[in-house]
Structure 1
């Protein structure tokens, strides 16, 4: 039985808790103190007892157990981190057995903890330089186009998305809930409080508008021209799903695939691996109209409820069945509360909607935004809230009129938006009645 922890052991335990925190565990410095206290009550000569004591402190769910076991074995058994790190990043097949699962989150944490190589001493010299308007590496990486990233920059981008938890802005609802302050006096609650206080109206009760997370449905194009952008959006959506956002995710290329359940995996790399195994048309052709028809008939009535917003991520390049695409976009507009189109082509300053597919989609969307870098994805956190600050100017105010001499589509969209949700829902049920 250990009576007092050694200084070296205390430093190692603290270092191990920092490693777990960098790997994605929600730990604080107090967990390191608790870990040192827990080691007073176990025999540190028994490896299983130490593992169980630390696991009881840091684990918050069964899905974290494999990552904890890998980190524990790697930290407390073999000091050769560099060799282990290479083995995790470059898995190999031994004697025909399948390669073990690797944890990129743990590999990133270990890489961040690697000591920098010593640099040769140089004679001191005086240098003067100015660096106005400099930015950090993360800020520069967040503004880079997804299609121009190298392999190292792509790994750094994935780590940046994992470490920054994204949360959508809350929507204000018409429902009222009890509140300590507010503009709506709750007479019944105030009267009940006065009865408990012997008839004295000493304090008033109030109610205020409740706020909720907005339901979101993502329709993501995974065709060949959207491959890099689709992968980045998937990592961002995984961060939203881990933040308990109300989201349904559908991928479409030549067919429609529901990947909502796969994105609920704790590790984003494992989630993307499951999706690539499930989706067969990744980086293939595009049939937007047929995919929207499948969604409208099979999923729209189940997912587009409660004032749901549709995030349509695509470049709009489709050469087949343009009339079908226009009809299905019109049907989707009747189902959805709002349609936000994220188009990577908006990264070009002189972009004009010349393609027939883009012209068929544009009249039915409420907002048009770029989706070519991480800054544009993080801007969605405030965009998806139904607030005046999130209002988006129409396309003809951004880049000129989209159809040349065509009339302004903004009044048509305003007229369509003035139709009640009950009327749109009734029209949608008439189009696709229950069988």
Structure 2
């Protein structure tokens, strides 16, 4: 931590900040007490210990993004007569033998230890650049939604369980009619269906595209996943998202969604899902995931009743609200407040790390109810 703090302090001094040794040591000490994988903790620790006046904040922010997040395209302003550049090596996880080396132009270059991917996993989708989204989409391709298993009526061979008379007698025919080995069978376990309902109204514009990309990865994985989008109407997009090519899948889904970034009738669309699809068996025993900020212009009693019906049908109901990650968040939106009593797990879904948490919850690893 001290070596990284010294390198960061050197960058700040070259950019004109008075980040002296005492401040750098204070920053290093703060990092020892924090989770360095948490971008917000590292950011505020540095801002408090390394900045001495409000005028330093802009330079600090740009330097932080270059040094800790790998934003090579950002230029850190230099004081007059100074030249300084940073060369990133995000895959290096070993401490460098030298804290600094000279590049071909004679500028000082700093080799970083931390991978920008680790920071990207925690970054809010609303703050990501197109380049960062491209990397996130590659990570999402490896993320799978597999529901908790359930016993089916189909049976499979087993070492113990119910006696399989037919297979036992068939084996006895090969040994002169003597059943030398008894055969058994048991009920087969299969993953529960996962149903995704994503809000694509205007209030979800900062998150809906990333969440749809996540839905594509889930549907295309081959697991039993159904996908719907909700705006002023309900649209099933499972078939459009089933193709392996993510860009083609998103284009086909966009054609099917007539009300993208429009208004929201959350209660009506959830009710439509229950009436048209849920009662026909799609939600029965399934893991139902709603991805929405909870804003609803309609009658919230309609939403509350629809959620009550879903909760009775489904194995588990999960609500994913990107706004939940905001400091001090309270579910004050009328729709959100009406839905929560019928929700088993309440998650944020604002970044990749929270989508990993969603995958665990779908698989049954998390059963914590919203308090």
Q: Same fold (TM over 0.5)?
A: yes
Which residue of structure 2 aligns with residue 146 of structure 1? Answer: 125
| Contact 2:288-2:318 within 8 A present in 1 as well | yes
Structure 2 residue 258 is matched with structure 1 residue 283: no
Structure 2 residue 307 is matched with structure 1 residue 320: no
Distance (whole Å) between structure 1 residues aligned to residue 325 and residue 186 of structure 2? 41
Which residue of structure 2 aligns with residue 15 of structure 1? Answer: none
TM-score, structure 1 normalization: 0.55
Distance (whole Å) between structure 2 residues aligned to residue 269 and residue 130 of structure 1? 33
Distance (whole Å) between structure 1 residues aligned to residue 105 and residue 180 of structure 2? 76
CA deviations on 1:292-315 (whole Å, 9 max, x unpaired) are 232233222335255122111111
Correspondences of 1:13-412 after superposition (within 5 Å): 121=104, 131=113, 134=114, 136-162=115-141, 164=142, 166-169=144-147, 171-175=149-153, 177-302=155-280, 304=282, 307-385=285-363, 387=364, 390-396=365-371
Distance verdict in 2 for CA 1:280–1:200, change over 3 Å: same
| Contact 2:145-2:194 within 8 A present in 1 as well | no
Distance (whole Å) between structure 2 residues aligned to residue 201 and residue 195 of structure 1? 8
Secondary structure of the structure 2 residue equivalent to 1:312: strand
Distance (whole Å) between structure 2 residues aligned to residue 322 and residue 312 of structure 1? 16
Q: Which runs of 5+ in 1 are unaligned?
A: 1-118, 397-435
| Contact 2:343-2:370 within 8 A present in 1 as well | no
Distance verdict in 2 for CA 1:292–1:165, change over 3 Å: closer
Distance verdict in 2 for CA 1:130–1:373, change over 3 Å: closer
| Contact 2:347-2:358 within 8 A present in 1 as well | no
How far apart are 1:291 and its partner, in Å? 1.4
Distance (whole Å) between structure 2 residues aligned to residue 150 and residue 251 of structure 1? 24
RMSD (CA atoms)? 3.0
| Contact 1:176-1:207 within 8 A present in 2 as well | no
TM-score, structure 2 normalization: 0.64
Distance (whole Å) between structure 2 residues aligned to residue 129 and residue 296 of structure 1? 55
How far apart are 1:120 and its partner, in Å? 6.5
